[in-house]
């Protein structure tokens, strides 16, 4: 058996976000989430619906290196149809987060003051609508006090505290199941839906996770993140034959 990398562990952990999901659309952002969603479909969530990233549902879960022209498309999904899927809750997206705070507010728009940000990022995108209409998980490849912050500079994805303050219109379908970083796996099972450490990856200590987090992290019953099985490793190698996953994850 080959050596297991941190990226392999993150992929297996991220795939758990879609365990038993049934026939819903998976929308992964980033190499690790993309491989993870396809791993989930190949194993414990065969009914998961994957897209070509543009306007069609694809057949199966091909390698991420597959050329668009070689994808087998099952059905068209025009842009306007995506909104119907979003509003119906039949989607579980895994977005990246440039910043995330204790209650799951997420930022991928800009770093610094709103009137004069230091860094302009990709913008709010669909994060507000995603986070109040269907399950939204997050992937953070570089866990540090710059990414896990006391308060995000711009609220893109809506966290539990802001959803509660906004009322039933925001809380009815609001659900943040999982955050996976290069250090561990987190959920929002702490007091008042505060972020909690669920597992740390092999070789990582609780103290290291705490030191890399810019807020008080709830520490409950913490376990070590399970290693991917031999079957999962074989599928991961097939899905990502060029090892792009290892270039995304800070070890």
Expressed as residue numbers, the domain containing 143 is 6-246
Whether residue 170 is contained in a domain is answered as yes
User: Residue 162 sits in a domain of what CATH number?
Assistant: 3.40.1080.10
Task: State what percent of residues in the chain have pLDDT above 70.
Answer: 100
Q: 84 lies in a domain?
A: yes
Structure tokens at 67: 């050329």
The answer to whether residue 1 is domain-embedded is no
Mean pLDDT of all residues belonging to the chain: 95
Higher pLDDT, 47 or 2: 47
Residue 50, domain member (yes or no): yes
**Position 54 confidence tier, pLDDT thresholds 50, 70, 90:** confident
Residue 251 resides in a domain: no
Q: In which residue are the tokens 């953070």 written?
A: 140
- 230 within some domain: yes
Contacts of 213 (CB under 8 A, 6+ apart): 143, 145, 148
pLDDT digits (tens, 9 = 90+) for 13-52: 999 999 999 999 999 999 999 999 999 999 999 999 999 9
pLDDT recorded at residue 1: 66
72 Cβ neighbours under 8 A, 6+ residues apart: 58, 59, 60, 62
Confidence check: pLDDT of 251 > 90? no
Decide: residue 214, CB within 10 A, 0-12 exposed, 13-18 middle, 19+ buried. middle
Q: How many domains does the chain divide into?
A: 1
Q: Say if 20 falls within a structural domain.
A: yes
Give mean pLDDT, residues 169-182: 96
Within-domain flag for 203: yes
98 contact partners, CB below 8 Å, separation of at least 6? 107, 108, 111, 121, 147
Q: H-helix or E-strand containing 180? A: strand 179-181
Beta-strand relationship, 110-111 and 119-120: antiparallel
């Amino acid at each position: 058996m080959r050596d297991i990398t941190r990226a392999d562990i993150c992929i297996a952990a991220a795939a758990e976000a879609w365990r038993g999901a049934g026939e819903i659309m998976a929308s992964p952002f980033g190499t690790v989430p993309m491989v993870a969603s396809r791993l989930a479909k190949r194993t414990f969530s065969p009914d998961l619906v994957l897209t070509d990233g543009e306007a069609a549902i694809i057949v199966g879960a091909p390698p991420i290196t597959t050329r668009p022209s070689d994808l087998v498309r099952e059905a068209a999904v025009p842009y306007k149809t995506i909104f119907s899927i979003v509003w119906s809750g039949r989607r579980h997206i895994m977005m990246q987060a440039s910043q995330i705070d204790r209650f799951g507010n997420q930022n991928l728009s800009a770093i610094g003051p709103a009137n004069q940000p230091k860094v302009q990022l990709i913008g709010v995108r669909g994060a507000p609508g995603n986070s109040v209409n269907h399950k939204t998980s997050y992937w953070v490849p570089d866990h540090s006090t710059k990414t896990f912050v006391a308060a995000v500079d711009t609220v893109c994805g809506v966290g539990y505290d802001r959803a509660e303050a906004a009322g039933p219109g925001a809380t009815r379908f609001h659900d943040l199941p999982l955050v996976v970083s290069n250090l561990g796996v987190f959920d929002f099972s702490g007091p008042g839906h505060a972020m909690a450490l669920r597992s740390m990856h092999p070789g990582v200590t609780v103290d290291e996770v705490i030191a890399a987090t810019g807020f008080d992290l709830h520490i409950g019953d913490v376990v070590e993140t399970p290693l991917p099985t031999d079957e999962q490793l074989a599928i991961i190698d097939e899905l990502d034959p060029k090892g792009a996953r290892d270039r995304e994850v800070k070890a």
